[in-house]
Amino acid sequence: MAVMLGMLGVFFLGIIVVLYLTLKKSKSFDEYAVGGRSFGPWFVAMSYVNSWWPGTVFISFAGLSVASGVFGFYGLAYSTLGLAAMYFIASRAWRWGKHYNLVTQPDLLRLRYGSKAVGVVTSIIGVIAILPWVILGMQALATVFSIASGGTWALPVCLLVGLATVLIRQIWTVRMGMRGLVYTDMYQGIVAYVIAAIVCVLLLVAPNSPANWSYLSEIPNQLLFLPGDGDSYGPLYMFSSVFTGVVGALCWPMSFVRIYTANNVKSVKKSTNYAMLIAGGFYALLTIVMLSAAHITGVAANPQAGWTTLLENYGGVWLLGLGLTMIFAGSIGHIDGSVQAAGTQIANDIVGSKIELSDVQKTIVSKGSMVLFIALAAVLAYFTNGMDRLQLLAQISYQAVVQISVPLFLGIFFKFGNKNGALAGMIVGFVVAAALTIAFPDDIPALGSITGGVVALFVNLFVYVAVSLLTTTPDAERTRVDELFDVARGGKRSTVTVGAAVPGMATAAKGESAACEAATSVATCEDAAATAMAESESEGLAASKAASIATAASSLREAAAASYARAGGAPAEASAS
């Protein structure tokens, strides 16, 4: 007991030390919410992974591999494919975030559709979907303290200790915001995923390991079948599980906001590749180890405790303590990120949409929301503890959060669609998903075991398209969306306003035309120079090249001025808006 609690204490002390060493007071809500957009690819990647795999991956997902066999690999499929999808939308999202000072996912949707209501609905769905994951995280912390105490602490005590730990950690989250999260995500991630992967390799290759890779040949036949392959599930269950995971990958508020923390586009792209390596490699190794350990009587009898049972059997109290520290690291990092995302969205997108709040007021509302949110999760964690197939909580949350995907993905990549379609689609999709999930928590047998969330998603898509086609989009809104997409492509819309040509003034018209062409060239070169300078680091563009473009813009400005002068005393300085 003393050894395991001591290891947890030393690790937690390390978190506090990291926070003290990196303490920096936030001067703005942008600094508080997204860390001033200042982090490189490795920090962003590990922050992604911390928001992706909670500590419960060692409990519910590891238990899934023991109880359901190769079905456990569905987590590997959706995580790697989901992170691959993140690669393609991250650049556009980052550019919009940087240009328009966005700090949350609902911020982006509110910008794209020009509607506060879209932002509010997105935020409500996101906050509701986060809650089951925080519940799982709290239960994982309770499990950690129950085992570390040798079973002498009752469940309420373990939950209270876990809650106290999170609240102590929240002191620095409240003070530092996202910056503190990202720095501690790196520290926590090394323990939870990198060291865990090393331990998994050791367990697989060590000759005396009870989970040596050779035991894979002894896996019972029933663990080699996927759902829908001759059992009670229909053929669409596996598809639904992976599909909702992939589609929902970037709908999670705590994952999406990590995009905004990157310092440039190049870091965003690199971070998704690094995250796939870390998240995919770790989860694959964990799944293989648990499959190899499925023959152990104690592991098979209690799959959700399989990870800790395996480590205690092989390495005694010290390896068990290390395993508990991994669960603790993953849990506290994921809980903290989830609670921070929920609090920020409540303050910025729900309350902030109704009441004009200063940065200080947003921070106060965010703090209060965080405390209430974590308290609610702790209560629900107590009443759902011991529930069979805990991963169902995670799957149910996906049924809700994927409803954000239709306006998010289509809105980022296509100009089609308006606020009416986005609102109607999300609301109808969420209601249908909730109704079907209550009636069919796992799957819908009559529809080939498709899940309620997938059915709702297709209803959402239909409503989005139909309503967008049936309602008009004003020309001003179309122009605004065009400008958003220019920014998303890395450019900046520039227009030049000149007077109409007057009949009989051919010379003036000719001069005016020359001036127009020169001014247009100025605008183009100045935009190119600005973009090149701003992204010289992200795109690997030499600073000297950016300077050359700026010099060319200056020369063309002089040519434009001369053209205007020849046109008959026009202003001596051409300008581009």
Residue-wise pLDDT tens digits, 337-362 = 888 889 889 998 999 888 888 877 88
Residue 464 confidence (pLDDT) = 98
Identify the CA nearest to 477 among candidates 118, 66, 199: 118
Task: Report how far apart the first and last C-alpha atoms of the chain are (Å, whole number).
Answer: 69
Which two three-digit tokens encode residue 234?
A: 């229909």
Find all residues with CB under 8 Å of 426, minimum gap 6, and list them. Answer: 118, 121, 122, 125, 403, 404, 406, 407, 460
Which two three-digit tokens encode residue 355?
A: 């009441």
Mean pLDDT score of the chain:
82
Q: How many CB atoms neighbour CB 483 within 10 A?
A: 13
Residue-wise pLDDT tens digits, 518-576 = 444 444 444 444 444 444 444 444 444 445 545 544 554 555 455 444 444 444 333 33
Mean pLDDT of 277-306: 95
The answer to whether the CB of 452 falls within 8 A of the CB of 236 is: no
Whole-structure pTM value: 0.78
- pLDDT greater than 80 at residue 373: yes
Mean pLDDT of 291-299: 95
CA distances from 74 to 80, 81, 107, 263, 305 (A): 10, 11, 31, 33, 20
Residue-wise pLDDT tens digits, 105-115 = 999 999 999 99
| 228 phi, psi to nearest 5 deg | 95, -5
Residue 371 confidence (pLDDT) = 83
| 262 phi, psi to nearest 5 deg | -70, 150
Q: How many CB atoms neighbour CB 537 within 10 A?
A: 14
Residue 285 confidence (pLDDT) = 97
Report the distance separating Cα 336 and Cα 19, nearest Å. Answer: 13
Query: In which band, very low, low, confident or very high, does the pLDDT at 397 lie, cut at 50, 70 and 90?
Result: confident
397 compared with 214, residue with greater pLDDT: 214
Q: How many CB atoms neighbour CB 494 within 10 A?
A: 15
- pLDDT greater than 50 at residue 457: yes
The answer to whether the CB of 134 falls within 8 A of the CB of 364 is: no
Residue-wise pLDDT tens digits, 177-211 = 788 888 899 999 999 999 999 999 999 999 999 99
Residue 514 confidence (pLDDT) = 44
Residue-wise pLDDT tens digits, 147-161 = 999 889 988 898 889
The full DSSP string for 396-435 is HHHHHHGGGHHHHHHHHH-S---HHHHHHHHHHHHHHHHH
Residue 320 confidence (pLDDT) = 95
Residue 425 confidence (pLDDT) = 97
- pLDDT greater than 70 at residue 68: yes
Mean pLDDT is lowest, of 226-235, 244-253, 538-547, for 538-547
Mean pLDDT of 477-485: 94
Report the distance separating Cα 18 and Cα 375, nearest Å. Answer: 26
CA distances from 124 to 118, 237, 299, 317, 392 (A): 10, 28, 39, 43, 21
The answer to whether the CB of 135 falls within 8 A of the CB of 128 is: no
Task: Burial-class residue 72 by CB neighbours within 10 Å (0-12, 13-18, 19+).
Answer: buried
Identify the CA nearest to 111 among candidates 465, 439, 419: 419
Mean pLDDT of 290-303: 94
Report the distance separating Cα 19 and Cα 155, nearest Å. Answer: 30
Report the distance separating Cα 50 and Cα 336, nearest Å. Answer: 10
Q: How many CB atoms neighbour CB 152 within 10 A?
A: 8
Residue 193 confidence (pLDDT) = 96
**Longest distance between any two alpha carbons in the chain, whole Å:** 98
Find all residues with CB under 8 Å of 367, minimum gap 6, and list them. Answer: 174, 343
138 compared with 491, residue with greater pLDDT: 138
Task: Tell me what percent of the residues of the chain surpass a pLDDT of 70.
Answer: 81
Mean pLDDT of 121-127: 94
497 compared with 181, residue with greater pLDDT: 181
Mean pLDDT of 303-307: 93
Q: Is 444 helix (H, G, I), strand (E, B) or coil?
A: strand
- pLDDT greater than 70 at residue 378: yes
505 compared with 483, residue with greater pLDDT: 483
The answer to whether the CB of 444 falls within 8 A of the CB of 455 is: yes
Task: Tell me what percent of the residues of the chain surpass a pLDDT of 90.
Answer: 45
Q: Is 131 helix (H, G, I), strand (E, B) or coil?
A: helix
- pLDDT greater than 70 at residue 308: yes
